Amino acid sequence: MQFSLQALWGQLLIGLVNGAFYAMLSIGLALIFGMLNIVNFAHGALYMLGAFVAWALLAQWDIGYWWSLLLAPVAVGVFGMLVERLALRRIAKLDHLYGLLLTFGLAAAIEGLLTATLGSMSRPYPVPEAFHGVFDLGFMVMPRYRVWVVAASLAVCLSTWVLVEKTQLGSYLRAATENSSLVRAFGVRVPLIIMVTYGIGAALAALAGVLAAPILQVSPSMGNGLLVFVFAVVVIGGMGSIAGAIVSGFGVGLIEGLTKYLWPEASGTVVFVVMALVLLLRPNGLLGRPVALHDAGHAERLPAGLDTARYRFALFFALAAAFALAPAVMPPVTVMTVMCVAVFAMAFNLLVGFGGLVSFGHAMFFGTGAYVCAHAAGRWNWPAELALLAGLLASATLAVVVGRLAIRRQGVYFAMITLALSQLVYFVFLRAPFTGGEDGIQGVPRGSLLGLVPLEGNTLYVFVYGVFLACTLMLYRILHSPFGEVLTSIRDNESRATSLGYDTARYKLAAFVISGAFAGLAGALKAIVQQMATLNDVNLAMSGDVILMSLLGGLGTFTGPVVGAALLIGMQNQLATLGPWLVVIQGLVLMGCVMLARRGIVGTVAHRLGRPL
């Protein structure tokens, strides 16, 4: 019994330390969102930069821990202010989606650059001499450094809360958020305040990185997994709430530690379960407030009247001809992969470009379809058509569940809920006995079509080509049906659609389920083509890829996601030998699209021609 109590106290201590990191990162995110309305996806990269700056100061100039606690946050804070001044300020008045995408691309570029130049290996950082040893309390042993981390985190969190809530600078920050024009009239330099606020948030992330370096070691990927947990913590506490971030950060850490003691396998998912339960009872989080949204960030609507039946036929014929001839210049497997992810991108674009619902976890449906299809074909020996149907139905069912939980939220809350629930699905597939863990399901048999025609060679290509064209036609018909017109009107002005008598929640849920079903079919088809289903199909990077495809091709255009999918797969295949530099390039391309070409390639052409592409 004594051993059990020691183990319990030990896990609670670990949870408290994790909670200290969650709280520090959460207040930085909450500060940036609450004051700037920016969903800072680069926060994990800034946390990692803080740790790397501390490591570089020690390795290159023999500057120790105590100076690093000051110098690393200052350096990263200045970098954050430059990011706000040169990039984020240019998209400040646009939808939250663009700030989220820009910082997502920035995070990918930073991580890829450090991996390419310094390698992916973890680097140890020594515990300061002042914190060697432990506190022996009799019933448990507490390492001195971990006690220091908890104490320092509490001090920083409370100081930040006092700064924002109880000082004149904090009052200026809050006033600038509510009514910047009025604050400017009093002679306050609002742009400077906004830049400094982002710098403070970046500095807080860097400070957390320095504190974490002696515990977690320093690596380019150290902020990846932690960031998703922190987003869930922020949603639990309430977007923009400093107090909510502190309370939920430490609370989630303790709950995670207790879960590790009682049920270790569930410790990676408990934060997302807590998030779901909190949002069911308090839609804005524990201490949050309703989020003020900008106008939807979709592509500009194109002139009506040019989308004639003849034009539609010509556009579809050109698309069909391009993929029919593509195997002559590209490997058939590559073309089939493009068609699979193109269906995924079109399904995502239905939700975002035409429905105005920004899902940042759409890979959960793609991956679910892939895993269920692979299991049905490989373990149950189902024919290909039934395995594909199983993948589609499983993803549609998951979309119903996720949609009912998320669809009542708007904007940032919707995006963050889909992201967190996607991570929950990721952990399920990582732990589930039938998925093969990190190896995935390999060697998926393609079987025979209707039990008669083996799906190999040209037959497989014709089958995938037929499924792709059928999905294209169905999605096009959905968008040009009365349902699609209502969905577009909800995207443009939900209040007006409600006043006309439409049940907007039902329409958005229907769009979410349709999008999830087609995404699942795309994942299932990819499992048949590549004969495997892995965690890559359901992880955050896949959600990022489908966003990049849609943005690169053109959000709100029908053929844009297909072009974006072809370009991204082509770029990944041609530049695969570059290794981590490919991640840098993708991040920079995403940032470039957000900054310079928000209509995307097809959207820009369509705008110039005045035709809906």
Last-in-domain residue among 263, 281, 299? 281
- Residue 449 Cα to chain centre, angstroms: 36
Q: Determine the Cα–Cα distance for residues 481 and 459; give it in Å rounded to an integer.
A: 33
Please state, in angstroms and rounded to a whole number, the distance separating the CA atoms of residues 230 and 44: 9
> What average pLDDT does this structure show over 2-24?
82
pLDDT band at residue 302 under the 50/70/90 scheme: very low
Task: Tell me the per-residue pLDDT of 427-456, one tens digit each, with 9 for 90 and over.
Answer: 889 888 888 888 899 999 988 777 778 888
Q: Is the torsion defined by CA of 349, 355, 357, 359 positive or negative?
A: negative
The answer to whether residue 306 scores a pLDDT higher than 70 is no
Q: What is the CATH number of the domain that holds 254?
A: 1.10.3470
User: Is the per-residue pLDDT at 518 higher than 90?
Assistant: yes
pLDDT at residue 43 greater than cutoff 80: yes
In a domain, 609, yes or no: no
% pLDDT > 70, the chain: 92
| Segment (H or E) for 141 | strand 141-143
pLDDT band at 235 (very low <50, low <70, confident <90, very high): confident
Highest average pLDDT, of 120-129, 132-141, 252-261, 337-346, comes from 337-346
Tokens 């922190």 identify what position?
A: 230
Quickly count: other Cβ atoms within 10 Å of residue 135's Cβ: 11
Confidence check: pLDDT of 236 > 50: yes
For 90-129, write each residue's pLDDT tens digit: 887 777 778 888 898 999 999 999 999 988 888 999 999 9
Looking at the predicted structure, is the pLDDT value of residue 34 above 80?
no
Indicate whether 236 and 366 sit together in one domain: no
Q: Could you tell me whether strands 532-533 and 441-442 are parallel, antiparallel, or unpaired per DSSP bridges? A: antiparallel
How far is Cα 249 from Cα 24, in angstroms, rounded to an integer? Answer: 8
For the stretch 232-254, what's the b/e string if a residue is b when 16 or more beta carbons lie within 10 angstroms of its beta carbon?
bbbbbbbbbbbbbbbbbbbbbbb
**DSSP assignment of 421-474:** HHHHHHHHHHH-TTTTGGG-EE-----EETTTEE--HHHHHHHHHHHHHHHHHH
Q: Are residues 209 and 112 in the same domain?
A: yes
pLDDT at 173 over 60: yes
- Answer for the pair 64, 128: CB distance below 8 angstroms, yes or no: yes
Query: Burial letters for 77-105: b for 16+ Cβ neighbours within 10 Å, e otherwise?
Result: bebbbebbbebbeebbebbbbbbbbbbbb
Across 369-397, average pLDDT: 94
The whole domain housing 335 covers: 329-539
Query: In angstroms, rounded to a whole number, what is the distance separating the alpha carbons of residues 148 and 359?
Result: 39
Q: Is residue 130 part of a domain?
A: yes
Residues 354-367: pLDDT tens digits? 888 888 889 999 99
Q: pLDDT band at 263, cuts 50/70/90?
A: confident
In a domain, 35, yes or no: yes
Residue 416 tokens read as 């963050």
* Per-residue confidence (pLDDT) for residue 613, from 0 to 100: 58
Segment 187-204, tens digit of pLDDT: 777 778 888 888 999 999
CA pair distance 237, 252, nearest whole angstrom: 10
- pLDDT band of 294, cuts 50, 70, 90: very low
What distance in Å separates the CA atoms of residue 178 and residue 190, rounded to the nearest whole number?
12
Question: To the nearest whole percent, how much of the chain has pLDDT over 90?
Answer: 37
State whether residue 377 is helix, strand or coil: helix
497 & 399 share domain: yes
- How far apart CA 429 and CA 459 sit, in angstroms, is 31
Does residue 308 lie in a domain region?
A: no
- pLDDT tens across 530-586, in order? 999 999 999 888 988 898 888 888 877 778 888 889 888 888 888 878 888 988 998
Q: 265 CB contacts (<8 Å, ≥6 apart)?
A: 431
- Please check whether residues 274 and 364 belong to one and the same domain: no
Q: Are 225 and 362 members of one domain? A: no
Summarize pLDDT for 128-172 with one digit per residue, the tens: 998 998 887 776 778 899 999 999 999 999 998 888 888 877 777
In this predicted structure, the answer to whether residue 290 has a pLDDT above a threshold of 70 is no
In the predicted structure, residue 77 carries a pLDDT above the cut 50: yes
Distance (Å, whole) CA 200 – CA 206 = 10
pLDDT band at 65 (very low <50, low <70, confident <90, very high): very high
Give the contacts of 396 (CB within 8 A, at least 6 positions apart).
513, 516, 517, 520
Between vectors from CA 46 to CA 43 and to CA 49, what angle results, nearest 5°? Answer: 155
Whether 222 is in a domain gets the answer yes
- pLDDT of 307 strictly over 50: no
- Predicted pLDDT of residue 179: 64
Say if residue 264 is in the same domain as residue 401: no
Question: Does 307 fall in a domain?
Answer: no
Same domain, 121 and 237: yes
Question: Using an 8 Å Cβ cutoff, are 116 and 579 in contact?
Answer: yes
Mean pLDDT of 477-482: 88
Q: How far is CA 230 from CA 28, 272, 575, 606, in A?
A: 10, 11, 32, 39
Distance separating alpha carbons of residues 195 and 85, to the nearest angstrom = 7
Q: Considering 504, 539, 574, which residue would you say is the last residue of a domain?
A: 539
Assess if residue 119 is contained within a domain: yes
Do the domain assignments include residue 17?
A: yes
pLDDT of 295 reads 41
Regarding whether 490 and 419 lie in a shared domain, the answer is yes
Residues 336, 253: one domain?
no
Specify the higher pLDDT residue, 206 or 559.
206
List CB contacts of 209: < 8 A, sequence separation 6 or more: 46, 47, 48, 49, 50, 51, 52, 54, 72, 76, 222, 223
Cα(303)–Cα(458) distance, rounded to whole angstroms?
41
Q: Distance between CA atoms of 363 and 90, rounded to whole angstroms?
A: 29
Q: Which of 511, 539, 567 is the last residue of a domain?
A: 539
The single-letter DSSP state of residue 330 is: S
Whether residues 271 and 356 share a domain: the answer is no
Q: What is the DSSP string of 474-514?
A: HHHHHHTSHHHHHHHHHHH-HHHHHHTT--HHHHHHHHHHH
Pair 274, 397 in one domain: no
Which residues, in sequence order, are bridge partners of residue 449? Answer: 453
- pLDDT value of residue 511: 94
Instruction: Give the max Cα distance, the chain.
Output: 83
The pTM (predicted TM-score) of the whole model is 0.85
Identify the top-confidence range among 154-168, 175-189, 402-416: 154-168
| Average pLDDT of the chain to the nearest whole number | 85
Number of neighbours of residue 480 by Cβ within 10 angstroms = 14
- Identify whether residues 246 and 387 lie together within a single domain: no
Q: How far apart are CA 164 and CA 193, in angstroms?
A: 12
298 — pLDDT class (breaks 50, 70, 90): very low
Domain count, the chain: 2
- Per residue in 207-229, pLDDT (tens digit) is 999 999 999 889 998 887 788 88
Identify which has the larger pLDDT, 14 or 283: 14
